[in-house]
Amino acid sequence: MRRIIRSSIYMVLLLVIVSCTKSEKTTVQKKIKMEGNPLFTEFNERIDFNKLTADHVVEATDTIISYLKTEYQTLYNIENRTFDNTMLAFDNLIDDMTKVQNVIYLMSYTHPDSTIRNTALEMNNKLEKYANEISLDEDLYKAVKDYSQTNEAKSLTGYKALFVKETVEGFERNGFALSAEKREELRKIKDNITEIGNSFSKNIASYEDYLLATVSEVKGLPEDYKKARKQEDGKYKIDLSYPSYRPFMKYSESDKARKELYIKYNNRAADSNLEVLKDLLVEREKMAKLLGYNTYAEWRLEDRMARKPENVWDFETDLVKSVKTKADGDYDELLEAKEKYTDATNPKVIKPWENSYVENLLLENKYELDAEEVKQYFPLDNSLDGLFKITQTIFGVTYKEIENPSVWHPDVRMFEVFDGEKLVGRFYLDFFPRENKYKHAACFGMIKGKMTDNGYQIPTATLVCNFPAPTDEMPSLMPHQQVETLFHEFGHVLHQMLTTANLSSQSGTNVARDFVEAPSQIFENWAWNYESLQLFAKHWETGEVLPKDLFDKMLAAKNVGSGLATEAQIFYGTLDMTLHDKYDPTSEKSTDDVVEELKNETTHYPYVDGTHFQAAFGHLNGYGASYYGYLWSRVYAEDMFSIFEKNGILDKETGMRYRNIILAKGGSEEPMDLVVEFLGRESNNKAFLKSLGL
């Protein structure tokens, strides 16, 4: 599960996504003199993470809140309202806050110092609660509403008109149809949601468990995998991070050990998060009903591309029908492989802890594809170099690595993005697993691109992953699936780096949540094209380019299990929607009951008693009632990639059109309008279905 991480301030304060031309105000960093605090920098200055302390985090939080309270009072008291002194000023203040909070949020998930990490989480909670206050501030609403009724506002067009319209609508759908008493009740509910949601995520991030496997139980696993996990007593410590879990489930010949690890993996944070999740659902339902909606999903989807739950349910239902035949065929193929290549006593059923193992046997025997052989051609450094070559070529930019950067961990690397001689962005790479670090792969936005009086504010983001760490004997070798992950997540980075939006509120990835994955999903296709793979897929020892016959085997096997994999995505999406649209969290029916029912209905793999997958389904926090967006946005991603297929995957003209239409504009226009502009036609799902082998 890959995702882009945005602090939930964007769901609270960022009521819209628009743009403008010029900042009337200087930045908060200019106004607040905070000598020595690395969270307050001069304009476009790099953050000095080496100096960061827990005290800095507290100081920055208190200072930015105090500053904003003063500045909002100034905004409220303006008499003759204009776009600049009201709407642009509002966007400036959102940006001032997020520049501080986003870095604090990142530190709460990645900093190795537990004091800084825990303090950052606590301060992030405080900032989110303040954002809740602002979202329910009647004076702020009145300021925006008053401006929206001026002659100037009524004459606006394009992104400015959209900004005003969506800001007013955002305030009103977030509580301003309520009395002051009810708004106070809503604020308390939102504060509860903030605290509960952060606890849910923290419990997942901090959860530690492992399997101590014997020599016989790691039989079948690669030697480098075993060597990295061997303990002094001769056993092997298999933790629950992706680089440990996925290979074990694919290669371990021990059905017993795979089952044990599967159960551990699907019980992450279950000791705490089952109750936390129930509390979260209860509070979200309270909020929705207080706002006049039947369900949380109905409220959440109103400003998304989908607009209403019925459209999502129709989308999921159509998908089930579209993939059923393929999924049935995939399952039959696995059953055949299980009976043919294993000595299992029950070859008529594929257990959930068997699917990766049996699928790998199928790939190795029927399709003659050895994932370990493939991995030798994808050392991380080469893959990153290839990704850089491809994106620099089609988008006309250059990445330069900063030597000895100031970072929060020695593994972290820093790069700057140049368009010609012009610096246009910065990004960090935090690639390897460590204790108490965020467990998945995600892009964390830090500073948004924005036009100011000082010039354009340089966007900054961090790509956090958990790829295999290199050893003394060999580099980090990536399964091809992780190469896809790298390309996918870097798509999010580019969406932030190449923005030209004038408002922070609509910069980069500040687009409708059910479209935000499309600019990342599209990049997975470059990891499946031989023309692009030839640029970087080279054997780590010999330098040999990935042989064409091996690539052909990869391509032939690409859609093995694609129907089952899509079923899994449908399950995730329907679980999320069910919990937020069709489930009463105060009833006797538990979330376990919902998971069991949906898993048995929507997938070929039966629910396993005693597991609690939902406890570590982190998307239920940040992506509540939105997980469907992964498949929804993929339809547009595949459709847009069809233009590259037609014109050439390294065609710079097509790349620049994509950069200028999709990446640069961010949320300044409706996403469907951008897609249609790039395609030159209405969008359809033909390329999406083709990508699944249908």
Candidates 424, 463, 384, 457; CA nearest to 106 is 463
Give the amino acid at 538.
K
Helices and strands in the chain: count of H runs, count of E runs: 29, 10
In angstroms, the CA 71 to CA 242 distance is: 45
Residues in the chain: 694
Helix or strand holding residue 450 (H, E)? strand 450-452
Strand partners, 239: 210
User: What's at 175, amino acid-wise?
Assistant: G
What does the alpha-carbon distance between residue 594 and residue 588 come to, in Å, rounded to a whole number?
A: 11
Whether the Cβ atoms of residue 350 and residue 605 lie closer than 8 Å to each other: yes
C-alpha 89/C-alpha 73 separation (Å) is 12
Which one of 489, 517, 524, 669 is the catalytic residue? 489
Output b/e per residue, 406-425; b: 16+ Cβ within 10 A.
ebbeeebbbbbbeeeeeebb
Contact call for residues 135 and 12 (beta carbons, < 8 A):
yes
Residue type, 215: V
| 478-482: long-range contacts, CB 8 A cutoff, minimum separation 24 | 478/375, 478/378, 478/379, 478/380, 478/383, 479/246, 479/247, 479/371, 479/374, 479/375, 479/378, 480/371, 480/374, 480/375, 480/378, 480/527, 480/554, 481/246, 482/378
Question: Please, is 511 exposed, middle or buried when counting C-beta atoms within 10 Å of its C-beta (0-12, 13-18, 19+)?
Answer: buried
**Encoded tokens for 672:** 């469907």
How far is 21 from 455, CA to CA, in rounded Å?
11
**Whether 335 contacts 350, CB under 8 Å:** yes
Using only C-alpha atoms, the chain has a radius of gyration, in whole angstroms, of: 25
The β-bridge relationship of strands 422-430 and 460-464 is parallel
Going through 180-295 in order, the beta strands assigned E by DSSP cover 210-213, 236-239
Q: Provide the b/e sequence for 456-485 (b: ≥16 CB within 10 Å).
A: bbbbbbbbbbbbbebeeeebbbbbbebbbb
C-alpha distance across the termini of the chain, in Å:
23
- Provide φ and ψ at 2, rounded to 5°: -110, 150
Considering only the C-alpha atoms of the chain, give the largest distance between any 2 of them, rounded to a whole number of Å.
Answer: 81
In the residue annotation, 45 being an active-site residue is answered as no
List Cβ neighbours of 272 (8 Å cut-off, separation of 6 or more).
199, 203, 615
Q: Of 333, 338, 343, which is closest to residue 358 (Cα–Cα)?
A: 338
- Residues labelled catalytic: 489
